[in-house]
Chains A and B, each alone.
Chain A
Amino acid sequence: MFEIGEAVWVGALGDYCTAIVVHASGLWVAASASGEVVMIDPVSSQGQVLAAGTGMAVSVLGMAAAFLAAAGQDGVVSLWAMPSGRAIDRLSFSGWIDRLAWSPDGKVLAIVVGREVVVWDQRIVARLSVETTVQDLAWSLDGRRLAAGVNGGVKIWSIEDWDREPEVIRLPTVVVRLAWSADGRYLAMGNQDATLVVVDWGAVDRPWVMRGLGGKVRHGWFGGGRLW
């Protein structure tokens, strides 16, 4: 389509670029610390402004097959249809929103709103309360479970019944990053105390704890059957 090294679109945002996501169609979306959200078509080199800068930062973008979500400092989650870029919904909360996650099928959006996880499926279908601030969210790849990292471990809800008490993996630390393995068997937790914990879903009471890391774990993912 284009050669490596060729700039297909060059534009300036009002502040630092805080997030970039790519849609399956090849469209790119970028957000900035002043609140702009711009959709870029690398083929036509056209940029389309989905949201103008408000001065309030966008911290997170979430791309799904049919949707785009953006949220940030003003506590508003904006939703657009993809690939058209048509605005479809706007959810207002209070507090800075910096974590959200689409279900693997791209239909259900989970949003961290302080000590609550808000679940959106065309409308808000659940508000899951947690005692401490949710640090990270991760859907199992089959989309059947949603895990939230918190102070004291991980809470895992089943999509079949949001009202049912979540399963809990207790850890004596704050879980700041979560990742599921592709087969849904393992859940990895990166923690504030510089440990990495992996649990086998069949034996959650026997976690593997890895110590000796230089600092707290800030990113982690499973790929090719391995944990990175």
Chain B
Amino acid sequence: MSTNPIPVTVLTGYLGAGKTTLLNRILTHEHGRKVAVIVNEFGEVGIDHQLVVNTDEEIFEMNNGCICCTVRGDLIRMIDNLMKRRDRFDHLVIETTGLADPAPVIQTFFMDDAVKEKTMLDAVVTVVDAKHIAQHWDADEALEQIAFADVILLNKQDLVSEAEMAALEQRIRGLNALAKVYRTQNSELPMEALLGVKAFDLARALAVDPGFLEEEAHEHDETVGTVAIVVPGAVDGGKLETWMKGLLQTQGPDIFRMKGILNLAGEEARFVFQGVHMMFDGKRDRPWGEDEVRGNQLVFIGRNLDGAALKAGFLGCLR
């Protein structure tokens, strides 16, 4: 019996984007993994499978003083049940409805003790309908599903022109510069790009497109976007803590995801962190390399973020 935590992939996207096609591919593909699936609606998955189970979305507020700390009660219960069949699967996929908020799903894996012990969030995968996304830009769910994602499939590429696709890809990178973006048809993507991504593994904290970091300004009219800060220097741990605490208290609900690598003053090792809303998770990482330039990289994805203010706040933490 294996006691390793089960990796979990969260699958989001609008109805009709290609989520079910992707799910069926994951279930039938010979990738050597046995996959259990939690779905929100039965009948969409075209496979009779004992490890495809159904739940009804149920949000629990944590009432711990953090207004955005919500978890999915239905998932806590279902994961507990599924874990009694632990030997039958080695990867769990959770399919959310097109209108689901990804945050409570993600937070469940950090905030519920029992779930945290048994599972490890692997990645949030979002399927975008390249042809029809234009109709959904004004919907919060569409933006949030993209903003929270680690992997984005721009699906149905065969139905749009190259120019439309390039514009869409640019717009999506403006929303979320951390995600890996793939153009797909029929949700076809190598399984390595989907399962076992380890996007929530702190050891792999940051993988921003270098091109994004180099660009100075990101023009976008969306309320949702990415702010990247890259600065040299050493950070004062105490000042950082005070700044971060204040930031999460005041802007936590608007910060969807954040990740970073920091050079703490007096430390030989890198400090890596990630966060979802007001939830912060950080640890000492490997030592800085001899030839490595010590510096700081932070990426925030969220709503109404003021890039200049964030940068100024962070610069105030430097020694």
Contacts and interface: CB of A to CB of B under 8 A. Distances in A.
A132 interface: yes
Contacts of B74: 133
A57 interface: yes
B13 to A, nearest CB: 24
Interface in A128-165: 132-133, 135, 151
Contacts of B58: 132-133, 151
A15 B84 CA distance: 9
Interface string A51-83: 000011101000000000000010000000000
B135 interface: no
A193 B62 contact: yes
Nearest to A218: B114
Give the interface SS of chain B, mostly helix, strand, loop or mixed: helix
Nearest to A58: B84
Interface residues of B, number: 23
Interface stretch (B23-31, B49-57, B150-158, B192-200): B49-57
B33 interface: no
A59 B78 CA distance: 11
A101 B50 CA distance: 26
B64 interface: yes
Contacts of B80: 98
B60 interface: yes
Nearest to B71: A192
Contacts of A135: 77
A193 B64 contact: yes
Nearest to B63: A172
Contacts of B7: none
Interface in A3-21: 15-16, 18
A181 interface: no
B77 A98 contact: yes
Nearest to A32: B84
A33 interface: yes
Nearest to A98: B81
Give the interface SS of chain A, mostly helix, strand, loop or mixed: loop
A26 interface: no
A73 B85 CA distance: 11
A119 interface: no
Nearest to A18: B84
Nearest to B42: A94
Contacts of B85: 15-16, 33, 57
B113 interface: yes
Contact of B87 (A16, A55, A173): A16
Interface in B69-91: 73-74, 77-78, 80-81, 84-88
Nearest to B116: A215
A114 interface: yes
B222 interface: no
B268 interface: no
A221 interface: no
Contacts of B81: 57, 59, 73, 96, 98
B271 to A, nearest CB: 26
B77 A133 contact: yes
Interface in A188-228: 192-194, 215-216, 218
Given A57-B81, A133-B73, A174 B60 contact: yes
Nearest to B1: A16
A15 B50 contact: no
A59 B114 CA distance: 17
B44 interface: no
B112 interface: yes
A151 B84 contact: no
A221 B112 CA distance: 22
Contacts of B77: 98, 133, 135
28 contacts: A16-B85, A16-B87, A18-B84, A33-B84, A33-B88, A56-B50, A57-B84, A59-B81, A59-B84, A73-B81, A98-B81, A133-B73, A133-B74, A133-B77, A135-B77, A172-B63, A174-B60, A174-B73, A192-B60, A192-B62, A192-B73, A192-B112, A194-B113, A215-B113, A215-B114, A216-B113, A216-B114, A218-B114
Closest 3 CB pairs of A and B: A215-B113, A172-B63, A55-B50
Interface of A: 15-16, 18, 33, 55-57, 59, 73, 95-96, 98, 114, 132-133, 135, 151, 172-174, 192-194, 215-216, 218
Interface of B: 50, 53-54, 56, 58, 60, 62-64, 73-74, 77-78, 80-81, 84-88, 112-114
Given A15-B85, A172-B63, 14 more contacts: A16-B84, A18-B84, A55-B50, A56-B50, A57-B84, A57-B85, A59-B81, A132-B73, A133-B58, A133-B73, A173-B63, A193-B62, A193-B64, A215-B113
